[in-house]
């Protein structure tokens, strides 16, 4: 009896590495909004990190055919040859890249690909240059691998610009990796092809790795779409990570990929072989249909995001005190709300997000999770009606401070 009791109350000794990371701030915001909704409150949700569209029909049909055709066994760890070829052809057609089968690996979402890539590149004590604001998971993936994030504040006045010069100032002998994410979550900022090329060139010169997270590459509204994968001369020093989640409205399906040198891809596949094994066989067939089929669906969703963005940003910019850069990609606006600090007890972005949720019933994600205290992230992957409702409530709340 006493043994059982002491076993129940004994503190659980988890591995040290799990205490180096935090739960996702985005997930926490979603959970808080859910709590209010369960109380019957009409919450307008601007937290969504995913498309509001359904997966296109031809992709769903391919998955159904795969189930009916019993495509239900293990596949090679990094994906079937058919899928790898589809990934390579899509990228070559869109960006003129020239990767081979052994230079790509499919994973269980872009997040999984990034986790594997960071795990095989970053050692204890390595420094990783990470532009701020950053997507929540980069920091935790680096910490989990035992690395140290060196934060680089992007220039908000210039659309959250990051240049090679800014990166160069932070390089030390311990710098192992630079993480780029364009279009960016949370800011929606798009790096110019010139700035990206300069960062990659600098990294190549110094023997530093670059991971270019291009999960939103097809949601670039500048008309000048660019992938680091185009930079053939420097390809032995960078990885490109892509995902079908946002491009084809397939977040729940979980399919991402990496392009890079065969030795790194091999190491990532080795890690994957000891954890998840292959991405779901059926999803691989759906992914082939997505990548090889008509890209009209992508163009249509992109057009709609532009319409939604223009509406939300115009509405935000019309609210006195809000400063909002025009996001050039992804589906987020990241306004600066510091003009409200000191009013109505508000001291930081987290207070604004808290007030918006509890007083105006608009769910957003506070900038703190992305490394800045002056911002709040709004997702516009929602209907025009929801955006209008959110804008009215935001205006009312901020005006009352």
247 binds ligand PLP (CB under 6 A): no
What is the nearest approach in angstroms of ligand PLP to the Cβ of residue 334?
Answer: 13
Q: At what angle do helices 81-95 and 281-292 cross, to 10 degrees?
A: 30
Among 215, 290, 363, 394, interactor with ligand PLP by CB under 6 A: 215
Give dist(CA 303, CA 307) in Å, integer. Answer: 6
Number of residues located near ligand PLP, criterion CB under 6 A: 13
108 and 257 Cβ atoms separated by less than 8 Å: no
Counting contacts by CB under 6 A, is residue 369 touching ligand PLP?
A: no
Q: Contact region for ligand PLP (CB under 6 A) — 68-76, 105-113, 169-177, 354-362? A: 105-113
Question: In this chain, which stretch among 88-96, 103-111, 194-202, 363-371 interacts with ligand PLP, using CB under 6 A?
Answer: 103-111
Residue 7 tokens, joined:
């076993």
Q: Is 110 in the site for ligand PLP (CB under 6 A)?
A: yes
Nearer to ligand PLP, 220 or 245 (CB): 245
185 interacts with ligand PLP by CB under 6 A: yes
Cis peptide before 193 (omega within 30 of 0): no
Question: Are the beta carbons of 363 and 47 closer than 8 angstroms?
Answer: yes
Q: Give the position of tokens 């892509």.
A: 242
CB of 24 to ligand PLP, least distance (A): 9
Contact 255, 243 (CB under 8 A): yes
Q: Which residue matches tokens 């759906």?
A: 286
Residues 192 and 309: their CA atoms lie apart, in Å, by 20
Which one of 55, 212, 227, 243 is in contact with ligand PLP (CB under 6 A)?
A: 243
Q: State whether residue 131 is helix, strand or coil.
A: strand
Q: By CB under 6 A, is residue 328 in contact with ligand PLP?
A: no
d(CA 306, CA 329): 9
Q: Residue 212, interface with ligand PLP (CB under 6 A)? A: no
Contact of 83 with 106, CB cutoff 8 Å: yes
* 107 part of the interface to ligand PLP, by CB under 6 A: no
User: Which parts of 49-88 interact with ligand PLP (CB under 6 A)?
Assistant: 49
| Shortest distance in whole angstroms from residue 115 CB to ligand PLP | 9
> CB atoms < 10 A from the CB of 153, how many?
13
Q: How far is the CB of 135 from ligand PLP (least distance, A)?
A: 4
Query: Which pairs from 167-171 meet CB under 8 Å and 24+ separation?
Result: 167/129, 167/199, 167/202, 167/203, 168/202, 170/129, 171/129, 171/202, 171/206, 171/208
CB of 169 to ligand PLP, least distance (A): 24
Within 10 angstroms of residue 198's Cβ, the number of other Cβ atoms is 17
Instruction: Considering only residues 334 through 363, tell me which ones interact with ligand PLP, judged by CB under 6 A.
Output: none
Binding window for ligand PLP (CB under 6 A); candidates: 202-210, 243-251, 313-321, 357-365: 243-251
Which of 110, 113, 158, 106 lies closest to 131 in space, CA to CA? 158
Is residue 126 within 8 A of residue 148, CB to CB? The reply is yes
Residue 131 found at the interface with ligand PLP (CB under 6 A): no
The only residue of 51, 56, 109, 131 in contact with ligand PLP, by rule CB under 6 A:
109
Strand partners, 329: 220
Q: Is 251 in the site for ligand PLP (CB under 6 A)?
A: yes
Instruction: For the CB of residue 111, give the shortest distance to ligand PLP in the complex, in Å.
Output: 3
Question: Any idea which residue has 């929602």 for tokens?
Answer: 382
CB 330 to ligand PLP: min, Å: 7
Query: For binding to ligand PLP (CB under 6 A), which residues are involved?
Result: 49, 109-111, 135, 181, 185, 213, 215, 243, 245, 251, 256
């Amino acid at each position: 009896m006493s043994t059982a009791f002491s076993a129940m109350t004994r503190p659980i000794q988890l591995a040290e590495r799990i205490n180096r990371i935090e739960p996702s701030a985005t997930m926490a915001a979603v959970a808080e909004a859910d709590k209010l909704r369960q109380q019957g409150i009409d919450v307008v949700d601007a937290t969504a990190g995913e498309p509001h569209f359904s997966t296109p029909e031809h992709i769903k049909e391919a998955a159904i055919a795969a189930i009916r055709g019993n495509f239900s066994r293990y596949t090679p760890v990094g994906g079937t040859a058919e899928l790898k070829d589809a990934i390579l052809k899509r990228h070559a057609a869109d960006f003129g890249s020239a990767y081979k089968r052994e230079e790509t690996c499919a994973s269980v979402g872009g997040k999984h690909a990034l986790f594997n890539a960071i795990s095989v590149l970053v050692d204890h004590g390595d420094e990783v240059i990470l532009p701020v604001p950053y997507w929540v998971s980069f920091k935790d993936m680096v910490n989990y691998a035992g690395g140290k994030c060196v934060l680089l504040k992007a220039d908000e006045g210039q659309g959250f610009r990051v240049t090679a010069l800014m990166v160069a100032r932070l390089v030390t002998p311990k710098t192992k990796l630079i993480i780029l994410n364009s279009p960016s979550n949370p800011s929606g900022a798009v790096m110019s092809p010139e700035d990206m090329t300069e960062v990659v060139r600098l990294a190549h010169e110094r023997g530093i790795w670059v991971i270019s997270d291009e999960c939103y590459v097809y949601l670039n509204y500048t008309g000048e779409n660019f992938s680091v994968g185009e930079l053939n001369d420097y390809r032995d020093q960078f990885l490109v990570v892509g995902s079908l989640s946002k491009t084809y409205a397939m977040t729940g399906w979980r399919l991402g990929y990496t392009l890079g040198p065969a030795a790194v891809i091999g190491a990532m596949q080795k890690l994957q072989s000891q954890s998840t094994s292959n991405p779901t066989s059926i999803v691989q067939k759906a992914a082939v249909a997505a990548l090889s089929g008509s890209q009209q669906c992508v163009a249509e969703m992109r057009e709609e995001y532009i319409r939604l963005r223009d509406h939300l940003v115009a509405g935000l910019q019309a609210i006195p005190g809000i400063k909002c850069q025009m996001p050039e990609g992804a589906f987020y606006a990241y306004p600066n709300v510091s003009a409200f600090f000191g009013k109505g007890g508000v001291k930081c972005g987290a207070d604004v997000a808290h007030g918006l949720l509890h007083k105006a019933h608009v769910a957003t994600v506070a900038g703190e999770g992305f490394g800045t205290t002056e911002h709040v992230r709004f997702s516009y992957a929602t209907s025009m009606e929801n955006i209008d409702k959110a804008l009215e409530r935001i205006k009312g709340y901020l005006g009352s401070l």
